[in-house]
Structure 1
């Protein structure tokens, strides 16, 4: 198995996929909330943006931990 195969396998890890999808959905919800612009919806948009950042960060950590250890 080559290094490129290991990196590809890191992206198929279930946690990486789950957090990436959640991050994209939360980012889309945040964008919609910010376009509406009322006070309560802006608060919900900030929360959705926070969830999106957390999900993308968690996916990156999972992806990096898999490639550094060299385990599939």
Structure 2
């Protein structure tokens, strides 16, 4: 059984918990891996949007609440 099949078998709540657990583990230790080019491109686009006023920032707690509300 591959990882994608396991993830697909989880409920939405379980998938979110798994994602948060994975992120916690990935963010705890130093990592010398450079981000992929596509990620840098997206960040550059969003920074440009912030600078020209077409994008805005959201508080992470508010984003999590909006996502949780969508899943209910």
- Judge same fold: TM > 0.5, yes or no: no
> TM-score w.r.t. structure 1 length?
0.31
Report which of the two has the higher share of helix.
Answer: 1
Greater relative contact order: 1 or 2 (C-alpha under 8 angstroms, separation 6 or more)? 1
